[in-house]
Every structure is written in structure tokens, then in C-alpha cells.
A and B are shown apart, each in its own frame.
Chain A
Amino acid sequence: MPESKHKYFRITKEVGSIPLKVTGLLAFLLLWELLVTIFGNARTLIPSPSQIMIVFYTEIRSGIWHRIVFSSFTNYIVGVSAGSLLGIACGVIVALHARIGHMTEYLVRLLRPIPPIAWIPIAIIFLGITPISASFIISIGVFWVNFFATHSAIRGVGSELIDVAVVFGHNTFFYKFTKVILPAALPSILTGIKTGLGQGWMTVVAAELFGIPGMGQRMVEAAGLLETRVVFVYMFSIALLYGVSDTLFTFIQGRLLQWNR
């Protein structure tokens, strides 16, 4: 089958390029290490990669890292889950019902441009300095990403596929929705979820800056003490967690969309 051959070449190309990618990263880290060694970090406050690694190790050994990452991760999961589910559900409803679509159009235009961070004072007033506040802030950005992805995906399902259901006697809305509309919209919905997962990590730090336990709070505390090594540890922790969650989701997405080549 030619498609298998194509896939083989694609994988081979991917695997073949890994040494280059690793070399690029290592070269950057080496250059960084070298520059810090030459110029010293007392004046610039920029730690070398090896210094960051040592602090990283200390944070893990003391148990602080686990506790802080767990707090942030909980905020993130709650926020992302709520934002994704609500965004998808609202996107579906608004896309399927023209009247609701019209009724909410100006409301969406009004609320969409407000950045998640601008909701922080409102969250503090109504929800207090609690993890729920952080989850709320995270969920706002994720909600809009999923809302628009789902809305356009559902609206994009052509009537030609729905006609297929009708001519084969599947006339109920439930059948057409579950067996045709939803699967047809799935690739774009999953792309929305994936973008939302990234968006969530971007907001998590901002949401914790005002004192809710988590990486954001730890970074602000460390920055106050000019402990840039700790700040870098958590910056890279976020990158690492984002990389893991993105890779996992890409894998799930690939499994769910085997048919979409």
C-alpha cells in the first residue's frame, strides 16, 4: 500500500532528524553555560544551566517542587477541563441553533476581547484567593478557544453528509448529531482542545501571581528575593509539563483520527 510506504518515510525522516534537534538544543545550552562562566552571573543575575539543574535537584529533594507543581497542576486540570467542556458545549449549542446564535452574537463580541488576566480582580472579589479563582482564570481563555473551534467545526459540517443519514432513514436529530455531525467536526474540536491545553499553561502562572499556591506564586516569591535560579526552574518546569501534556494529547489525537489522512 503506497500510504504505508509514505508513512514509513515520514517516520524515518522524523527519527533521522532527532540527532540534529538534540545537537541544536545542546549547543544552545553549552553556549549559555559558557557565556555565564565567562561573564559571571553576579551582575546579570542570569544563572547557568548547571546552576539551574542544581537548584532543580534541591527543589525536588526538599519536596517543594512536587507540592507546588501538584497545586498548579490541579488548578490547571480543573480550569482546562471546565473551560474545554463548557466551550465545546456552548459552541455546539450556538452552532446548531440559529436563534441562540443571533442572541449571543453581540455578547460574544463583547466578552471575547477581555483577556483572562483582566478577570483576576473579579475572581478575587467573588471567589477569594483560592485555587478556584486560579481555575476560573485558566478556564476563561480555554473556554473561548474551544468555543470558537467547536462552533466553526459544527457549522462547517456540510449538508451533503447529513443527507447521507437522511436517505438511509436516520432522521432523528440525536442520530444525525452523534453519528454524523460530531465525528465530522471531531478533528477541529480536538485541535481546539489541544490549543486550549497550551493556552491553559500560559494562563496558569498569571492566575497564581496573586498568591494562590502554585508555580506562579513560587516564581513571584523567588523573584522578590532575586533568586533567578528558582524562577528559571519553574519556567522550565512549565515548559516540561506543557511538552508532556502536548505529546500525550497529540498521541491520543492521532489514535482518534486514524482515518483523517
Chain B
Amino acid sequence: MMKINLLPSEYRKAERTPFIILLPILAGLICVLSAGAVAGYVKFSWRAEVEAERVQLQGQMRQKQPRLNYNASLLKEEAEYKKQAETISKIASSRILMTKKLDELCNLIAEGDAGQHGGYMVWVEQLKTKPAKRKRGRKKKGPQPAGELSFSGYVLANNAPLQDFNRFHRAIKDSEMYREQFMGINDPKGSVTEFTDDKVPTKGWSFALSADMTDPAEIMKTRAKKRLEAKKEARRKRK
């Protein structure tokens, strides 16, 4: 049976939103509002708070910047001064005392005249020193020579000048001067010269020697080490 409502529309009973529609509307509304609330909190509270903290910290950092800049310039100046102090120390410790080398060589030759070291008579025709060349690239291991001292001439004798030369060569190698100030000397070689004039000695062994000079900084280090050892020894003896 079919029912027909003939009442005018204002008198008719209002139709309720069907439950099947109301439920998704309510659920959707709750979800959308909750999500909106979360999004609003995140954007306008949390993020704003974090941004404010960052700005505050940046301000703090900006305030400290002048002191930090001051510190940086102090460090730069310190590095510059250190570099200069180091350079000047290197310059000062690189001085080879040429007077000492020449004087001690003359002494050693004079000692031969006096018959020491078995006796020899040396006539030096030429002597020259050559500073070490600064080589670029990788440095060799161990102490490097500071330069070269070379000298040539004759060891004079009436008989067997080679023997006298060998004595001179040995005297150099045994000397305190050589041990302290030189790193090596070339091996003896040369040839005998017989003089044809009326002078004596009548023969001479012509030689050319060259010795590597020890770096003065190394000499100073060795001396300091020796001093320390001597002090220790003296202390030990006293005990």
C-alpha cells in the first residue's frame, strides 16, 4: 500500500539527516578539527618558540663576536711572532764559526811541524768553503751538512811524502775539531811531486781534501748533551 502525504509542506513532519550521512560528517569534522588544531599548534606555537630561541641565541653569539674576533687577531699575531722567533733562532744557530775552523786547521798543521801526530809538513795552496745548497723537494733523513770546506796543497818530505800525508789525514780524523765540526772527509789520494830546485824538502804529496761541515745547530745540540752528561757524571761522582 502506498501512502501519500497530502499535508502542505510546512505541516509535514521534518525529515532527519539520515544516520549514514551524519556519522561520516561528525567523524570527518572531529578529524579535520583535530588535525587543524595539531597543525596550528605546530606552526604557531612550537615552531615559533623554536625560532624565537634561535634568534635569541644568534643575538647572544653576535654579542660575543667582537671578543672572538679580538681573540682571532691575537692568535694570528702570536703565530706571526712565533714564526719570526723561530726564523731568527734558525738564523742565529746557522752561523758557522769560520775563524774557529781555519784557526784549528792551522793549529793542526803547526802540530805536525812540532812533530806531533808523527810529524808532517803541510803547505796549503788553496782553501775554500762552500755553503750547502738549499735543495727543494723531500729532505733527506738525518743531519745534513752545512757546507763544504776544501783545501789543496802539498805534504812535504824528503822521503816518502805519502806516509806523512797519511799521518796528516789521520791526525785530521782523530782531532777534536774534526769530530765536532765535520761529518766526513774524502779518502786520501794524490800524487808525488819531485821538486827540481835546490830547496828542501825535495818531495811533496799533492792532495785535495774536502770535508763536509756539520750543521752548527747540531754542534750546539751535541755540546749541550755533553754538558748535561758531564753534570750528571759530576753529580754521580759527588754521591
A and B interact physically: no
Partner-B contacts on A (CB < 8 A): none
